[in-house]
A and B are shown apart, each in its own frame.
Chain A
Amino acid sequence: MKKQKQEILSTLIDDELTNNKEILDNLISNEEMKDTWARFHLIGDCLRGNLPKKIDRNFSSNLKKIIANEPSLFFPNKNYKLVKEPIIGFAIAASVAIFAVLGIQRADISPIETTASTVHMKKEIVDSKLDTFSFPDNYVAPANVEEINEYDFLSNQRLNNYLINHSQYRNDLKMNTVLPYARIVNIETED
């Protein structure tokens, strides 16, 4: 049994073991195995000419006493950060999406009084205010523009308010992330 363990230890020293965990557990807790580990390495150093002129037999035991007085290190694996960051980001994005969806769905329960002028803009106003965009004279509004009902209007209004508030909140916090920005405009034609 002892020989078998020592053979595994010899394989560990040569880094030829596929599963090191069990033998490392044994090695750390077993002083006799530690001595064998030290001697096997000493043989290698001796053959490679890595030995100092004098070998202090108590070097490691003296050092161990000093290390015992040092504070223990406890640092989570660096992979922790790499794995957790996307998860946290995804959780935040999912929360924002859920709030947005719930906010829209609750629009019919407690409709918000809004002034139509903030959202509904007459075609002439749009033409006059926006230099970069103007409707042609023979413009015919698509059917779906006129078919926006009260429910859609309130939903759009709430979503718009939510996005504006969120944008302001983001600016206040100086968040550097890129968040979606939407502008919803309803156009009322006088046909």
Chain B
Amino acid sequence: MAENITDNEIIDRVKNGDKNAYDLLVLKYQQRVVNLISRFVKNHSDALDVSQETFIKAYRALPNFRGDSAFYTWLYRIAVNTAKNHLTVQSRRFTKSDYDVSEIEQIDGNMSLTEQTTPENLLIRDELQETVLKCIENLPEDLKSAIMLREIDGLSYEEIAVVMNCPVGTVRSRIFRARETIDSKIKPLLEN
């Protein structure tokens, strides 16, 4: 799998004590993980907390990651297990007639994203999606085809070059120009 090369290099850096490198994995996979967990945990704040827990668990377990599977496959399993555990704990909590005070204190003492997430930090997916799709529609045909073949069909540069009958360097340049154009539209949305 092609995407393993960069991931594995980042993981090697984290394993060698570079915590900042882990940030790259979080930035890369955060949306996929939150989206996955949201299928299990309906409450958005809870989904964010479980996602956060997933990334922390993954960080702690990273020394055990041998690279036999893709990093996301491994992270996916952690995310699903963490979400299921969350649901189990939740269901037990709701069936309890009375709460242990120390347990409540412990829950409250945990650092939670729920407390730090304010409505203004939340960007609505539909707004972002609409901007991106509108931008894609307005792209020149060669840029649009290149970015779609890459992002949706998952083709390599070499395969896209064959499909589009152009050199690999041209494919690289077209994909970058497409991303650059879309980026210029979404950047203000994310910064506001």
Spot the interface stretch: B84-92, B97-105, B175-183.
Answer: B175-183
Name the CB-closest residue of A to B184. A39
Secondary structure at chain B's binding surface: helix, strand, loop or mixed?
helix
Secondary structure at chain A's binding surface: helix, strand, loop or mixed?
helix
- Whether A59 lies near B48 (C-beta < 8 A) is yes
Complex Cα distance, B28 from A24, in Å, reads: 14
A78 in complex: contacting residue of B44, B66, B132, CB < 8 Å: B66
A77 near B: Cβ within 8 Å? yes
A38 to chain B: which residues have CB within 8 Å?
Answer: 27-28
Known: A29-B20, A45-B32. A57 touches B62 (CB 8 A): no
A94 near B: Cβ within 8 Å? no
Complex Cα distance, B21 from A43, in Å, reads: 21
Q: Within the complex, what minimum Cβ distance (angstroms) separates B13 from chain A?
A: 7
Known: A20-B5, A28-B18, A57-B121. A51 touches B31 (CB 8 A): yes
Chain B: number of interface residues, binned into ranges: 35 or more
- Whether A72 lies near B19 (C-beta < 8 A) is yes
- Whether A28 lies near B13 (C-beta < 8 A) is yes
A interface size (C-beta, 8 A): 55
Q: Scoring A residues 24 to 51 as 1 if CB is less than 8 Å from chain B, else 0, what string do you get?
A: 1001110000101111111111111011
Complex Cα distance, B18 from A42, in Å, reads: 24
Interface residues of B in 111-168 (CB under 8 A from A): 111, 113, 116-117, 121-125, 128-129, 132, 136, 147-148, 150-152, 156-157
B96 near A: Cβ within 8 Å? no
Name the CB-closest residue of B to A14. B150
Which residues of chain A have a CB within 8 Å of any CB of chain B? 3, 6-7, 10-17, 20-21, 24, 27-29, 34, 36-48, 50-60, 62-64, 66-68, 70, 72-75, 77-78
